Amino acid sequence: MSGLTVSAVPLNVSPNLQQFFTRGPPVSLSCVEDGQTVDGWTVKTTRGGQIEECGAAGSDFGRLDGSSCVLDVSTKFSTDHWCESSSGQRSDQVTITVTDKDLILEIPALPVLTGSDVTLSCRNRNGDKVKAYFYKNGKVTEDKLQRVQQSDEGLYSCFTDEDGKSADSRLRVRDPPPTSAPQTTTSSTTTTVYAATSFNDNNNNTDARASFSPPLSLIRLFLHVMVFCPYSICTILMVSICYSRKTGNKPVFSMEMTQCDDQYDDIIDNITTNHFRAAQM
């Protein structure tokens, strides 16, 4: 237990109040962590400037009842109490007041969490709750504290015309302990990453499909070249024939002209057919 922090094992007061009447019900103090009493920690107090341990020999501070310290409320007192480990670690102090007056303020002994609601009450010795004026640090305040904050800490008391004023007791406010992040956040993040990965994969697939589109264009280009080349060859032949006619060698090229005309007609038919097929593709 030596590794625990000072606030790890607080002093628990039952009932959870700071003020009690003399000859009233017993008050129990214990050192508790997560609802369980802790070994190695004892309840201590100061009396007459001296530190006393509950249940110690020669001390009438209180008696041990199992792991709890039962206070003697037969006489009035107002002293600080705390839990202390064998290594000297201390919890926060709680001031317990036992009074012989006719009025007590009912205020929590344990710290209250920020954002919670606290209701103060004033009780007389007969056990009845009475209407009263409530004060914080000597100034009038409300009995209902909603969504308390650190600014609500201070010394509180109550007052009635019949019974007078109660003792002062301090209200302590603490922030709630931090909570761990919910598991759904991790799942959501994982889903988002997966979705982003899937999206990138889709883009990559699209780019890959796009990279295969050039072969279709190459086929079309090849068909156009196949159509254009025979046409160019025939054009060159026609020019050559015409040039030969001008030179006077008509008999020599008369047969070639006839053959070229026939070939030209066949080429034109092939060109038309191939062009039509290319257009269909």
pLDDT digits (tens, 9 = 90+) for 165-176: 999 999 999 998
In the chain the first and final C-alpha atoms are separated, in Å, by 85
Report pLDDT for 34: 78
The boundaries of the domain holding residue 225 are: 214-281
Over 70: is that where the pLDDT of 96 sits? yes
Q: What is the C-alpha separation between 223 and 217, in angstroms, rounded?
A: 10
Cβ count within 10 A of residue 81: 23
Last residue of a domain, one of 177, 197, 226: 177
Task: Check: CB of residue 43 under 8 Å from CB of residue 81.
Answer: yes
pTM score of the predicted model: 0.61
Whether residue 199 is contained in a domain is answered as no
Identity of the highest mean pLDDT range in 8-12, 74-78, 240-244, 246-250: 74-78
Which structure tokens are listed for 57?
Answer: 């020999």
Whether residue 42 is contained in a domain is answered as yes
Torsion angle of alpha carbons 130, 12, 174, 4, nearest 10°? 170
Tokens at 80, concatenated: 């600080």
Between 14-23, 104-113, 245-254, the lowest mean confidence (pLDDT) is in 245-254
Residue 252 within any structural domain of the chain: yes
pLDDT at 188 over 50: no
Asked if the structure places residue 2 within a domain, the reply is yes
Which residues in 27-65 are b (16+ Cβ under 10 Å) and which e? bbbbbbeeeeebeebbbbbeeeeeebbbeeeeeebbeee
The reply to whether 188 falls in a domain is no
Regarding whether 116 and 85 lie in a shared domain, the answer is no
| 193 occurs within a structural domain | no
The reply to whether 1 and 90 lie within a common domain is yes
Please give the Cα distance from 167 to 256 (Å, whole number).
136
Contact 24, 96 (CB under 8 A): no
Tell me the pLDDT tens digit for each residue of 141-156: 999 999 999 999 999 9
Look at residues 85, 100, 115 and tell me which one is the last residue of a structural domain.
Answer: 100
Q: Are both 66 and 142 inside the same structural domain?
A: no
Domain containing 159 — which CATH number?
Answer: 2.60.40.10
Q: Same domain, yes or no, for 3 and 96?
A: yes
CB 14 within 8 A of CB 28: yes
Shared domain for 140 and 86, answered yes or no, is: no
Number of domains in the chain: 3
**CA 38 – CA 129 distance, rounded (Å):** 35
- pLDDT tens-digit profile of 202-222? 555 544 444 444 555 666 666
Asked if 62 and 54 count as a contact pair (C-beta separation under 8 A), the reply is: yes
Per-residue confidence band for 59, with pLDDT thresholds at 50, 70 and 90:
confident
> Looking at the structure, do residues 173 and 129 belong to the same domain, yes or no?
yes
**Which residue's structure tokens are 């009845």?**
128
The helix (H) or strand (E) run that includes residue 11 is strand 11-14
The residue from 177, 201, 230 where one domain ends is 177
| Judgement on whether residues 141 and 96 belong to the same structural domain of the protein | no
